[in-house]
Amino acid sequence: MTDAYHKLPLTFDIPQLKQDLARLQNNNWLTHINKNAHNGGWTSLPLRSVDGQINNSIVVETNPDRYQSTLYLEQSSYLQKVLGGFRCQLISARLMSLKAGQEIRRHTDMDLCFEDGCVRLHIPIQTHPDVTFIINDQPIHFAEGECWYMNANYPHQVNNHSKTDRVHLVIDCLVNDWLETLFLQSGYKKDIVVYKYGNPGITDDNIWQVIEQLEQIGGETALEIASNYRAIWLQGALHTK
């Protein structure tokens, strides 16, 4: 089984992270599009987005060249330095907040694990020991200033039982030789697994829920993925007859 999460040997200056966060707090944080997973307490501020838009933090576009720095990143000297230290191609970068006492309900994302070639990394800026990730039914706390990989293909949820709004810098980036070396030399156990839908979090039990969510998102890429999933399911159904 691939690792549900993995701590990378990177640490960042907590006061400088918090200083940049303070500069950005009063901007227009966007409610996360997956409203099935939260009650309004999950918001984001785009630092790298499609065409550098500040009103769009959705990560559906698959062409990494479309992602550009937003004016929020341009106002954040230390966050620029943090992102510049990753010697791999960055896709999106967002500040993601979960309000005190709120939760992100169990859900899965797609094509976001090391073995897929695109990883999601979390750098906690503001958090509390009572904030817990549960990834593939495994609980873990990510501490401030650390850097964690999580396999977002697995079912995951977040519980913020503290009185502090949790804010992470969340980075999606492409795996290259530099990043692969960083993972493997820090003890990550790479695994090669073939999944029916290309994603360990998607099975015949939840495939129609995933298809429905993709169709709600809309757009050429999401609809194409939904169509491919339909075809895979139909092919499997025919083989069982």
Residues 129 and 212 in one domain: no
In this structure, the answer to whether residues 168 and 233 fall within a common structural domain is no
Pair 147, 233 in one domain: no
Q: Which amino acid is at 152?
A: A
| Number of separate domains in the chain | 2
Mean pLDDT of 120-127: 98
The pLDDT score that the predictor gives to residue 54 is 95
The answer to whether position 201 is within a domain reads no
Could you tell me if 156 and 229 lie in one domain?
no
What are φ and ψ of residue 90, in 5° steps? -85, 145
Distance of CA 6 to the CA centre of its chain: 14
> Residues 127, 222: one domain?
no
pLDDT in tens, 165-191: 999 999 999 999 999 999 999 999 876
Give Cα separations from 90 to 31, 59, 62, 93 (angstroms): 23, 12, 12, 8
Contact 113, 2 (CB under 8 A): yes
Residues 176, 220 within the same domain? no
Range of the domain at 218: 207-239
What is the signed CA dihedral for 208, 211, 213, 219, rounded to 10 degrees?
-170
Residue 26 domain-assigned (yes or no) = yes
Q: What are phi and psi of 171, to 5 degrees?
A: -120, 130
d(CA 177, CA 195): 24
* Mean pLDDT of all residues in 7-25: 97
Band (241; pLDDT cuts 50, 70, 90): very low
**139 shares its domain with 34:** yes
Are residues 11 and 99 located together in one domain of the fold?
A: yes
Q: How far apart are CA 158 and CA 167, in angstroms?
A: 12
Q: What DSSP state is assigned to residue 136? A: T
Q: Are residues 36 and 153 in the same domain?
A: yes
Mean pLDDT of the chain: 91
Kind plus residue range of the DSSP H or E element containing 46: strand 42-50
Buried b (16+ CB within 10 A) or exposed e, 184-207: eeeebeeeeeeeebebbbbeeeeb
Alpha-carbon gap, residue 136 to 63, rounded angstroms: 28
Whether residue 230 is found in the same domain as residue 162: no
- Percent of the chain whose pLDDT exceeds 90: 67
Q: Tell me the C-alpha distance between 73 and 59, whole Å.
A: 17
